[in-house]
Amino acid sequence: MLSEKMQQALNGQLKAEFYSAYLYLSMHAYFKSINLDGFANWMYYQAQEELGHGMKFYDFINQRGARVQLQQIEAPKTRWDSPLAVFEATLQHEQKVTGLINELVELALGEHDHATNIFLQWFVSEQVEEEENVGGVLEQLKLMGETKGGLFMIDRELAKRNPGAAPTETD
């Protein structure tokens, strides 16, 4: 059974994960509006992944005999100055989520809630991967500078993201 404090915190993270999906869908729409379909593809799959993360929290809360309490999700930003600005915002957002996960781990440890701590360890590892993936795209965008050809090369590469496909040597 979850403590009331842990239940509230996990419901807060559930909201944060669903907000992340909403934010990435907004970024998807932005990229579609400027005809960068590869970037849009990357954000579409990112949004799906975040929905999956949210459902992990949803299921865990229920599994522990607690109550899921869905909360209002605020509207995300809808416009950015450039693809670089989008990925800077994405990295900043993922770093914020990492901080939220770390706070949950600290709470679980403080509450001696070992089951929740074990559950959260997957998210700790996931956030390392999230920041690395976003950071990689961000560094490529910084390296290419104002080069339009570089933007289209990155767009073509991001179009290849397909979570259901088997990884290749270049993945």
- 118-148 pLDDT, tens digit each: 999 999 999 999 999 999 999 999 999 888 8
**Position 163 in a domain:** no
- pTM score over 0.85: yes
**Count of domains for the chain:** 1
Tell me, what's the pLDDT at 167?
A: 47
Range of 48's domain? 4-158
**Position 164 in a domain:** no
Residue 83: Cβ within 10 Å count = 22
**Position 77 in a domain:** yes
Q: For the chain, what is the mean pLDDT?
A: 94
Question: Which whole number is the average pLDDT over 5-28?
Answer: 98
**Position 168 in a domain:** no
**Position 165 in a domain:** no
Distance of alpha carbon 53 from alpha carbon 86, whole angstroms = 21
Q: Which ranges of the chain does DSSP label H, i.e. alpha helix?
A: 4-33, 37-63, 83-110, 114-144, 148-158
